[in-house]
């Protein structure tokens, strides 16, 4: 008689075999790790339309809720791995930074200049970053306080009256002037105007379709970029003829020689000066616009900032004496407002890197050539690190934060070297804004536009009036 094998033991045997094979595969060092979870969307288009048809914050947050803190997608023609944890950001930007090179769209690299330091790694990057960082360090920019203050006062005075001011656009003008000051010192007015005119054309081409057809923004930007090279060449020639020893950024570049005695070429200088202008303008202007908006929305906080700044104002004989570097270091409430504005707005929502080889992270494969994007905004708005993250609360910066949970200027070797200058500009502007002016926002006070940085809707139209001194 044929023996019948019970059905249940067969199932159990199958389950045990399945578990064994899974464990063996996990232990197999030669097994290729899998790609992170996620959706790649349509062929070529990927998920670009989904990203740009909604608030990018919603897009990334939805992905994180569905797939976790590491997921894949396909945007802007590139396969990408998104990383939304402090540990992952540290892995990409600090501990394994050599495995991930900086990357930008080719069109933007062309307009800024291929020799700009943030397109590079290695010895060249180290050398250029040291020069830029040294020129924009606290020790160097402390000498710019009086000049930045004069620019802030002039800007605010021009806004006063009944006219409606596009706050963001006006803040951009101020940030550009501060950038020019840090790069060239007190540059001749004709050069300043020519630089401003041509840089504005280049800026319009940054985020346009990169077509070289006559009359297109990108074609005009390429022509303006050539003109910028010519203007910078004239400025450099004059500096050399005068044998100037200025300690501004241009002076640092012109007087630099490496261990082999090699100088920095004019093309390299031009690319890096344009790169600094690019980094200094929109981001700083965006944050200052948000600061103005948040102070208006939180009256008690505005009063606290006013009280802090009024004490400094009175000690300076009601503004008759200039601000000092030491006074800008004694603004704790205002400084926390700056930090919270940086967190809330997260102007740099993410950064682009590219894997230079296959990389494994937490059991997942990041293939060579894929873009890798640490999501700063997701980290800055994570309830695990910031309680009630949608609330504007500067007091959260009264205590130390967990490392790599707050990265408004990036992290690692590519941290923005001008972050001290940006914060100094914000503090000086806020001082004069709250001690001498009142303002009201015109129209809708909600809504965000991306151009490409997040800015209050329509650039936050506002009216400004001088405070009565009676």
Once rounded to an integer, what is the mean pLDDT over residues 208-230? 91
What integer pLDDT is reported at residue 75 of this predicted model? 84
From 179-183, 197-201, 348-352, the region with the lowest mean pLDDT:
348-352
User: Would the pLDDT of 139 be above 70?
Assistant: yes
Q: Note the pLDDT of residue 108.
A: 85
User: How many domains does the structure of the chain reveal?
Assistant: 1
8 A C-beta contact, residue 63 and residue 73: yes
pLDDT at position 25: 45
What is the rounded average pLDDT of the residues 151-180? 94
Q: Is 169 within 8 Å of 139 (Cβ atoms)?
A: no
Q: What is the mean pLDDT of residues 365-383?
A: 94
Q: What is the pLDDT of residues 385-400, one digit of tens each?
A: 999 999 999 999 999 9
Specify the pLDDT at position 106.
Answer: 81
What's the mean per-residue pLDDT of the chain?
88
| Residue % of the chain over a pLDDT of 70 | 92
Within 346-415, residue ranges assigned H as helices are 376-380
pLDDT reported for residue 105:
76
- Tell me which residue of 429, 417, 114, 392 sits closest to 280, measured CA to CA: 417
d(CA 301, CA 233): 48
Secondary structure class of 401 (helix, strand, coil): coil
Q: Is the pLDDT of residue 62 over 50?
A: yes
Nearest to 244, CA basis, from 233, 234, 255: 255
Using pLDDT thresholds of 50, 70 and 90, give the confidence band for residue 12. Answer: very low
- Looking at the domain assignment, is residue 244 inside a domain? no
160 belongs to a structural domain: no
Q: 């690299």: which residue's tokens?
A: 109
Whole-structure pTM value? 0.88
Choose among 297, 374, 383: nearest CA to 337.
297
Q: How confident is the model at residue 413 (pLDDT cuts 50, 70, 90)?
A: confident
132 located within any domain: no
CB atoms within 10 A of CB 424: 22
Range with the poorest average pLDDT among 2-6, 153-157, 179-183, 391-395? 2-6
Taking the CA atoms of 47, 51, 57 and 58 in sequence, report the sign of the dihedral they define. Answer: negative
Confidence of residue 17 (pLDDT cuts 50, 70, 90): very low
Range among 116-125, 144-153, 200-209, 251-260 rated most confident: 144-153
Helix (H, G, I), strand (E, B) or coil at 234: helix
Spell 94-119 as b/e; 16+ CB within 10 A means b.
eeebebbbbbeeebebbbbbebbbbb
The mean pLDDT of 8-16, rounded to a whole number, is 46
Q: What is the H or E stretch that residue 11 is in?
A: helix 7-27
Residues 127-132: what's their mean pLDDT? 92
115 vs 275: CA distance, rounded Å: 9
Containing structural domain, residue 73:
30-105+349-380
Average pLDDT over residues 303-309: 97
pLDDT at 321 over 80: yes
What digits encode the pLDDT tens for the residues 419-435? 999 999 999 999 999 99
* pLDDT of 28: 52
Given pLDDT bands bounded at 50, 70 and 90, which one contains residue 180?
very high
For residue 178, give Cα distances in angstroms to 169, 187, 218, 255, 321.
14, 11, 26, 22, 21
Section 240-264 average pLDDT: 85
277, part of any domain: no
Q: Tell me how many degrees the CA angle 5-11-14 measures, rounded to the nearest 5.
A: 110
In a domain, 438, yes or no: no
Q: Where are the alpha helices (DSSP H) in 346-444?
A: 376-380, 419-436
CA pair distance 250, 270, nearest whole angstrom: 9
- Cα(first)–Cα(last) distance of the chain, in Å? 114
CATH for 68: 3.30.43.20
Give residues with Cβ within 8 angstroms of 54, minimum separation 6.
none
pLDDT at 459: 93
Give a yes or no: residue 465 inside a domain. Answer: no
- Whether 94 maps to a domain, the answer reads yes
**Predicted local confidence at residue 241, as pLDDT:** 86
How is residue 355 written in tokens? 């894997």
DSSP string, 89-118: HHIIIIITGGGEEE---HHHHHHH-TT-GG
Separation between Cα atoms, residue 144 and residue 67, nearest integer Å: 47
**Residue 444 lies inside a defined structural domain of this protein:** no
CA distance readout (Å), 1 to 4, 9, 381: 9, 21, 71
């Amino acid at each position: 008689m044929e023996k019948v094998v019970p059905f249940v033991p067969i199932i159990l045997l199958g389950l045990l075999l399945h578990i064994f094979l899974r464990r063996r595969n996990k232990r197999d060092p030669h097994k290729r790790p899998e790609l992170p979870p996620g959706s790649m969307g349509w062929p070529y288009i990927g998920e670009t339309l989904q990203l740009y048809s909604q608030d990018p914050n919603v897009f990334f947050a939805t992905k994180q809720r569905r797939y976790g803190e590491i997921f894949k997608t396909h945007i802007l023609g590139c396969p990408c791995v998104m990383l939304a944890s402090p540990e992952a950001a540290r892995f990409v930007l600090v501990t394994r930074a050599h495995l991930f090179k900086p990357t930008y769209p080719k069109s933007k690299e062309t307009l800024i200049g291929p020799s700009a330091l943030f397109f590079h790694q290695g010895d060249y990057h180290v050398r250029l970053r040291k020069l830029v960082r040294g020129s924009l360090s606290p020790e160097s920019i402390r000498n710019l306080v009086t000049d930045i203050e004069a620019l802030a006062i002039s800007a605010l005075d021009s806004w006063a009256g009944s006219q409606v001011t596009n706050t963001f656009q006006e803040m951009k003008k101020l940030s550009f002037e501060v950038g020019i000051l840090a790069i060239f010192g007190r540059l001749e007015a004709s050069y300043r105007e020519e630089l401003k005119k041509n840089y504005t054309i280049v800026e319009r081409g940054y985020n346009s379709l990169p077509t070289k057809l006559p009359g297109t923004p990108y074609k005009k930007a390429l022509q303006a970029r050539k003109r910028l090279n010519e203007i910078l060449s004239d400025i450099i020639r004059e500096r050399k003829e005068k044998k100037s020893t200025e300690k501004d950024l241009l002076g640092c570049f012109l007087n630099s020689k490496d261990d082999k005695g090699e100088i920095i070429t004019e093309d390299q200088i031009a690319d890096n000066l344009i790169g600094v202008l690019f980094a200094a303008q929109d981001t700083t202007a965006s944050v200052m616009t948000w600061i103005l908006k948040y102070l208006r929305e939180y009256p008690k906080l505005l009063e606290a900032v006013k009280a802090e700044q009024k004490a400094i104002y009175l000690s300076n004989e009601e503004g008759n004496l200039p601000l000092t570097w030491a006074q800008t270091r004694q603004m704790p409430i205002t400084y926390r407002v700056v930090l919270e504005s940086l967190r809330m707005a997260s102007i740099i929502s993410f950064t682009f890197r590219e894997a230079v080889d296959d990389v494994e992270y937490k059991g997942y494969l990041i293939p060579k050539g894929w873009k890798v994007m640490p999501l700063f905004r997701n980290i800055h708005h994570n309830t695990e690190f910031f309680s009630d993250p949608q609330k504007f609360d500067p007091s959260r910066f009264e205590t130390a934060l967990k490392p790599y949970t707050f990265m408004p200027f990036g992290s690692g070797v590519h941290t923005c070297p001008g972050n001290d200058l940006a914060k100094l500009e914000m503090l000086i502007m806020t001082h004069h804004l709250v001690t001498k002016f009142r303002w009201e926002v015109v129209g809708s006070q909600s809504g965000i536009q991306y151009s490409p940085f997040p800015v209050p809707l329509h650039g936050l139209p506002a009216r400004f009036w001088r405070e009565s001194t009676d």
